Amino acid sequence: LHQDLFSLAQQCIDKARDLWDAELTAMAGESYSRAYGAMVSCQMLSELEEVIQYKLVPERRDIIRDTWWERLQGCQRIVEDWQRILMVRSLVINPHEDMRTWLKYASLCGKSGRLALAHKTLVLLLGVDPSKQLDHPLPTAHPHV
């Protein structure tokens, strides 16, 4: 996707989806938690397809961003899952363009006891690490942070 090889990317997505289909069929009668992890992977495949659309059809970008926000609200509050999903989305949207989602992720990290990851995320959003520049005021470019 970085090199805009969309046809090849779609072929890889289709192949991965076929592999997950077999895996999900095998898991159908097993535990929800195991199946949930597989479903997150399938969601990521769908979002990779949406990344292609995001790049190719600028008119759909707002709809895709709204869909991504709503979809994430339906996900379990599992830091690792959110991290994987956000990495896919970061192929086309940087954290500053999706501040609401990244702030929610930082909050999730904090509530999950992943304080270093919450701190790292907030530093990314601020653009500066206030713990390393004690004599400087906090930047005001992103007041939501």
Q: What share of the chain is helix, strand, coil (3-state, %, to 5)?
A: 75, 0, 25
- 95: CB partners within 8 A, 6+ apart: 102, 121, 124, 125
- pLDDT score recorded for residue 90: 96
pLDDT in tens, 51-91: 999 999 999 999 999 999 999 999 999 999 999 999 999 99
Name the average pLDDT for the chain.
Answer: 88
Q: Over 70: is that where the pLDDT of 141 sits? A: no
Pick from 77, 79, 125, 123: nearest CA to 100:
125
105, 104, 102, 108: which is closest to 127 by C-alpha?
102
Amino acid found at 2 = H
Highest mean pLDDT among 17-31, 34-48, 49-63: 49-63
Distance CA 5, CA 125 (A): 30
Per-residue model confidence (pLDDT) at position 132: 79
- Residue 145 clears pLDDT 60, i.e. is over it: no
Q: Are 47 and 85 in contact (CB under 8 A)?
A: yes
pLDDT (0 to 100) of residue 137: 61
Report the percentage of the chain scoring pLDDT > 90. Answer: 63
Q: What is the DSSP letter of 38?
A: H
Q: Are 42 and 17 in contact (CB under 8 A)?
A: yes
Express each pLDDT in 92-107 by its tens digit.
Answer: 999 999 999 999 999 9
| Cα–Cα distance for residue pair 117/115, rounded to 1 Å | 5
pTM of the model: 0.82
**pLDDT for residue 144:** 63
- φ, ψ for residue 114 (rounded to 5)? -95, 65
